[in-house]
């Protein structure tokens, strides 16, 4: 069994086209390109469902503000507010400790 490896977007397209040209022989494509059977199978399914763009690796990609739904925009705004609140709490705690330190100073 071949272990999967990292591939580029163009490699995935080439592998899928090779597999489709050979009657969806996933095993043959996996051996030819030294990738796992599961990878080839998944890429072919994605390609058939969404074309070449479906083979893009979307991990770690952040959406542009125009792509966000209203619910996503609200979640993002809430995260920003929670971060700001936490930062202000830390600042207040620091100032309280500083005041206590100065008060105890001779």
Q: How confident is the model at residue 63, as a pLDDT? A: 74
Taking the C-alpha atoms of residue 28 and residue 77, their distance in angstroms, rounded to an integer, is 49
Taking the C-alpha atoms of residue 48 and residue 39, their distance in angstroms, rounded to an integer, is 14
Spatial contact of 16 and 44, defined as CB atoms under 8 Å apart = yes
Q: What is the pLDDT along the chain (106 residues), one digit of tens a residue?
A: 567 788 899 999 999 999 999 998 999 999 999 999 999 999 999 999 988 888 887 777 777 778 888 888 899 899 999 999 999 999 999 999 999 989 888 7
- pTM over 0.75? The answer is no
């Amino acid at each position: 069994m071949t272990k999967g490896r990292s591939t580029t977007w163009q490699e995935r397209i080439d592998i899928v086209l090779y597999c489709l040209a050979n009657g969806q022989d996933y095993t043959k494509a996996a051996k030819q390109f030294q990738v796992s059977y599961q990878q080839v199978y998944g890429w072919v399914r994605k390609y058939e469902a969404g074309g070449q763009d479906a083979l893009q690796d979307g991990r770690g990609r952040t959406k542009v503000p125009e792509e966000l739904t209203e619910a996503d925009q609200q979640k993002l705004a809430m995260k920003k507010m929670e971060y700001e609140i936490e930062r202000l709490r830390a600042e207040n705690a620091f100032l309280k400790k500083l005041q206590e330190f100065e008060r105890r100073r001779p």
